[in-house]
Amino acid sequence: MEDKHYSFLESVNRSFNKAAKFTRWEKGILDQIRACNAVYRMRFPIKRDDGSIEVVEAYRAQHSHHKTPCKGGIRYSEMVDQDEVMALSALMTYKCAIVNVPFGGAKGGIKINPRNYSTWELQKITRRYTSELVKKEFIGPGTDVPAPDYGTGEREMAWILDTYMAMHPGEVDAMGCVTGKPVAQGGVRGRKEATGLGVFYGIREVCSMPDIMKKLGLTTGVAGKRVVVQGLGNVGYHTAKFFREHGAKVIAIAEFEGAIYSEDGLNEEAVFQHRKNTASILNFPIAANLRTSGDALELECDILIPAALENVINGENAARVKAKIIAEAANGPLTPEADDILAQKGALVIPDMYLNAGGVTVSYFEWLKNLSHVRYGRMEKRFTENLNKHIIGQMEELTGKTVDAREKLLIEHGPDEVDLVYSGLEQTMIEATREIMACWHANDKIPDMRTAAYVVAIDKVGTSYAELGIFP
């Protein structure tokens, strides 16, 4: 099947429209939910290391203000344009609604290939971009809170924080102006692996549903499942790690230069080190090379996890995908044509906008930490430990038996920040999965899980507008 050439935004809006008819909202409200409220397109000069001046193109889109602040990553890529940031900001609104993160969607982008710039130049670009956002009040702990995305990370978030604080001396909550920061600069433990861990929790919850698994011809549980991962970056690496640690077999990993396969299962860290040392994923000991990277997508497996780029499963290759579950860890890895083909084949597509929401969920935890000015677990860790010790002591005294030493250690251990972040994320992903599935089950006309996810999101945003009213 030939893919029609929708822009990314058109593609998101098509999914929205497909779902809107299963909701009870009038046209005007639906139009407002779908509309991107504000886009700031800017151009600013930077001085390059060789003394020349270059004009940089950049954006920040705020899709929705039904909850504030707005929230969304900042991307550094040559592909950045207004359509892309608007589409990604819309996905952020729906994503936050599904996982009950009380933010409106936003997204930023700078149209550069970061590899073409020195660290000093990147710092200047990041700081100038931040100052432009400050001038227009497009950043702030109560207005709009950026985060990392493609091409950015902790380093850029620290520069953004420093610039914001320099321009807002004495603002007590300034730390909450950006998330994804280094831990020493107000970041939260667990943020780095959050998206991959959220992907794992989401898929694990789906795999625990007997009716869904029966329909797919699979047994329940993740242990023993054969998994293929595309992209060994932040999201793919951590997703593979959590699947392996929970007894699944990662039988293939694809990178852009090629893919490797081993029926015995691959260890993502060993593969990562091999790629680092040899500059290629290929020729990994104990694994076979696949002819092309794309071949990995067509392997016989239980769960296929695209965690790299957009549009990798499309009208051309979707019919050859044999996985029973396709779990979208990346944003937009399936085209609308691929969606239709896979639905006809009876495969289950777990949609991106909720499955990869672990990052924004933990960003929310980071923002809360910044506003409360205290690390998670700091106040209660020792208290919980003492309380648990006391309870164990009482139990032993009453029963005359000694609690097993290992058990004792486990029960006594008061929560660290990372324990609380993981458990908050686990609960969030389980609740979201169940809510989407319940919506899907309640209406047998809803064709797929993606549409059900949109219905859930539209209903929540619609409820906000209905209850808040329209200003003035």
Enter the tokens of residue 154. Answer: 């902790």
The DSSP secondary-structure symbol of 357 reads: T
Q: Which of 330, 334, 437, 461 binds ligand NAD (CB under 6 A)?
A: 330
| DSSP code per residue over 258-286 | EEEE-TT---HHHHHHHHHHHSSSSS-TT
Helix (H, G, I), strand (E, B) or coil at 72: strand
- Considering the rule CB under 6 A, would residue 160 count as an interface residue with ligand NAD? no
Nearest residue to ligand NAD, scored by beta-carbon proximity: 233
Q: Does 356 bind ligand NAD (CB under 6 A)?
A: yes
Residue with smaller CB distance to ligand NAD, 112 or 212: 112
* Residue 432 touches ligand NAD, criterion: CB under 6 A: no
By DSSP bridging, strand 70-76 and strand 144-148 are: parallel
Should residue 366 be labelled a site residue for ligand NAD when binding is judged by CB under 6 A? Answer: no
Q: Is 326 in the site for ligand NAD (CB under 6 A)?
A: no
In the complex with ligand NAD, the residue whose CB is nearer, 226 or 275, is 275
Residue 433 near residue 99 (C-beta atoms within 8 A): no
Do 202 and 350 touch, CB atoms closer than 8 A? yes
Q: Is 451 in the site for ligand NAD (CB under 6 A)?
A: no
Q: Which of 107, 181, 192, 369 is catalytic?
A: 107
Q: Does 233 bind ligand NAD (CB under 6 A)?
A: yes
Pick the binder of ligand NAD from 62, 126, 262, 331 (CB under 6 A).
Answer: 331
Interaction of residue 383 with ligand NAD, rule CB under 6 A: no
In angstroms, the first-to-last Cα distance of the chain is 48
Q: What binding mask, one character per residue, do residues 180-199 give for ligand NAD by CB under 6 A, x or -? A: ---------------x----
Query: How far, in Å, CA of 187 to CA of 338, rounded?
Result: 38
What the block records as the tokens of 447 is: 């064709």
Q: Kindly report whether the peptide bond that precedes residue 182 is cis, defined as omega within 30 degrees of 0.
A: no
**Could you tell me how many residues of this chain bind ligand NAD (CB under 6 A)?**
21
Is 4 one of the catalytic residues? no
Residues 303/226, Cβ–Cβ less than 8 Å:
yes
Judged by CB under 6 A, which of 96, 157, 188, 308 binds ligand NAD? 308
CB hemisphere CA count around 329 (13 angstroms): 29
- 258 binding ligand NAD? (CB under 6 A): no
Residues that bind ligand NAD (CB under 6 A): 150, 195, 230-236, 254-256, 293, 307-309, 329-331, 356, 359
Q: Which residues are catalytic?
A: 107
